[in-house]
Amino acid sequence: MPLGDHLRELRYRLLVAVAAVLVFSAVALIFYQPLLDLVLWPIKQAIDLYQQANPGARVELVTNGLTSAFALYFKVCVMAGFIVACPVWLYQLWRFVSPALGEGARRTALIFLVPAIPLFLAGVAVGYWITPRGFALMLGFNPPAVVNLNDLNDYLGFELRLLLVFGAAFLLPVVLIMLNRVGLLKATALTRGRRVAIVVCVVFSAIATPTTDAITMLILAVPMVAMYLVAEIVCRVHDRKLMPAAKAADPIKSEVT
């Protein structure tokens, strides 16, 4: 496909994904107050944990500027719309990438989406669950005599990035299995790279989690390593199923291998 066609395809996929996010964001406007409570729960829990450990410490949630509250209103709804619209933009992402992976990749789109959607949402849920401890730890660096002011718009952007990191991390097994299904990744490569992958998962978890304690890091690292091992097993089973066909197609090459 020429570069111009690639760009037009990218534009179309982006437009569909953005349109879906906007539609769900518009629906979220109806539920703004419960969504705001949901978004603020981690920071409120973190403040409670911090103040229990540091009696008398002051932490305030603020909006800075005349238009900040208005911006917050829409950011909360767009954040909710983006997460709820994940089936649409995950599908558009796969449709954009799949032509480069061959004809067989298009037939596996459903196999990609069925596990990808719940895994992404599970990653978001895990990130949402552990953030209060991380935020409380960061608040702990605040000097006792200083009032800590947290701009809600900045907090919302940080929280969204954190949740997306967790959601993307939980897509690891789907990506590995799909690369194996289209013939770009062998199970033997996953086996050889297992130790490196475990180290990478642990390092990634240490960077992604906003805490310095090992327990919070392991909450992300252990599922990632487990999902890598599951992906390796699935890929090995798939490769073994293909071995008879490969031998029949090219017996001399199979014997050499």
Q: What is the DSSP string of 12-28?
A: HHHHHHHHHHHHHHHHH
Tens of pLDDT, residues 41-56? 999 998 998 888 888 8
User: What percentage of the chain carries pLDDT values higher than 70?
Assistant: 87
Residues 148, 73: Cα–Cα separation, whole Å = 23
Greatest Cα-to-Cα distance within the chain, rounded to the nearest angstrom: 78
**SS3 breakdown of the chain: % helix, strand, coil, rounded to 5?**
80, 5, 15
Helix (H, G, I), strand (E, B) or coil at 147: coil
Residues 158 and 164: beta-carbon distance below 8 Å: no
Tens of pLDDT, residues 2-44? 767 778 888 999 999 999 999 999 999 999 999 999 999 999 9
**What is the reported pLDDT for 102?**
59
Looking at the chain, which runs of residues are DSSP E strands? Answer: 59-62, 148-151
Residue 196, CA atoms < 13 Å, CB-side half-sphere: 5
Span 199-227, mean pLDDT?
Answer: 80
* pTM of the predicted protein model: 0.80
Residues 86, 160: Cα–Cα separation, whole Å = 14
Residue 97 has pLDDT above 80, yes or no: no
User: Where is average pLDDT lowest: 51-60, 103-112, 163-172?
Assistant: 103-112
**What is the reported pLDDT for 247?**
54
What are the b/e assignments for 185-214, b being 16+ CB within 10 Å?
bebeebeeeeeebeeebbebbbebbbbeee
Rg (CA), the chain: 23
Q: Residue 167 corresponds to which amino acid?
A: G
Residue 3 phi, psi dihedral angles, 5° rounding: -60, -40
Residues 40 and 130: beta-carbon distance below 8 Å: no
CB atoms inside a 10 Å sphere around CB 58: 14
**Residue written as tokens 């107050």?**
33
